[in-house]
Structure 1
């Protein structure tokens, strides 16, 4: 999941348990335009905060090539990077997605059905968090 700084989920994708890092670039590349105060809408984030599961040098390099500063915790280093003060926003958005009971426990055997319910929950979360809808 890719969220805005205020916790509004921008993109959601379904992956296997250990393949999250492979989806970091498609999530960033698929960011819809986000309106700011003035000017053209932003099409890419300034910085990307992630936990240790995304600590791979190749993805750090590719993010820098796109002009995005990666703020990713390093593996093997002690805690204290203060990323938890920023990452709780994403954890909160994930908790919003798991609100419907059907997504808390995966009952569907087909990926397309589970992805459909995930995208529907994403739409419901957007409708709740964004009063413009």
Structure 2
């Protein structure tokens, strides 16, 4: 076992949820060696062709990561480790939401548009890993708009933006990828709706947190209305211009939104979750051409955080 590879205990937590066979090529090759190669690339940012000899052939590792990013296997693994933590009462449901800019390497550009259609059509969302249906990948939501691949131009240059929610223990609950210039508030609803922690027994998945904290980027009417409709207590500071406009209206401006300073101090948990994610160099700098593959890269890094926290 190399430095940074999943331990035996961590591997046993993942093994029951991995796909067993592929409808087209039969049984998968040894998952553990391939996953070790994927996580090594996540951690170091090395090119696929330069993977160490013990992970070879590199094409198998690269293709497995691409397919699992497309068919949602990485997201299913993330939800399963979250479900285990929730069953043990280890999730702090006072969550926070934020985003971070990821600088895209020049090699992330130039994806052929025709390659978007190379993903075989077919399959429904929410397939369970381990079934034959995983042989046909699909493009999951949250991987960038059509043609954009989650790449754009912002003040930082050629960038991608990673939107996420994190629990009170600095662990990512959901991830969404957009171009770097996309406003944070536009992805507020998609990020919250991707929170889906299954129950190990019977019952519906948990989707609603106890409370939420966010910065001024999410301080607008649609975000607050969405939280009120779902009955989620929230702490979001009011923007200066919004406050001035409300005061100008006098009694017609309504009451100021509630703000809990002590709760807002816990918002640093999402900043620390971003810091943990960016320990993976393939997340801190984007090398993947496809938006859904980069989302899979970030999700694999999130799985490791959950396994080791």
Q: Could you state the TM-score of these two structures normalised by the residue count of structure 2? A: 0.35
Residue by residue over 1:45-101, the C-alpha shift from the partner in whole angstroms, topping out at 9 and shown as x without a partner, is: 121110111110221011110111221122227xx9345521111001111221222
Q: Structure 1 residues 117 and 69 mapped into 2: Cα distance closer, same or farther (>3 Å)?
A: same
Shift of 1:41: 5.2
Of 123, 126, 132 in structure 1, the residue corresponding to residue 303 of structure 2 is 126
Equivalences, count: 124
1:41-80 matched pairs, under 5 angstroms: 42-76=206-240
The answer to whether the Cα contact below 8 Å between 1:103 and 1:118 also exists between their aligned partners in 2 is: no
1:25 CA displacement = 0.9
Residue in structure 2 matching 1:2, options 143, 165, 168: 165
Unaligned runs of 5+ in 1: none
The alpha carbon displacement at 1:42 in A equals 2.8
CA-based RMSD: 2.8
Rate the CA distance shift 1:33–1:101 in 2: closer, same or farther, 3 A.
closer
Look up the match of 2:188. 24
**Cα 1:126/1:26, change in 2 over 3 Å:** same
Larger Rg: 2
Unaligned 5+ runs, structure 2 = 1-163, 244-259
After superposing on structure 2, the runs of 4+ consecutive aligned residues of structure 1 that deviate more than 6 Å are none
Alignment TM-score, normalising by the size of structure 1: 0.75
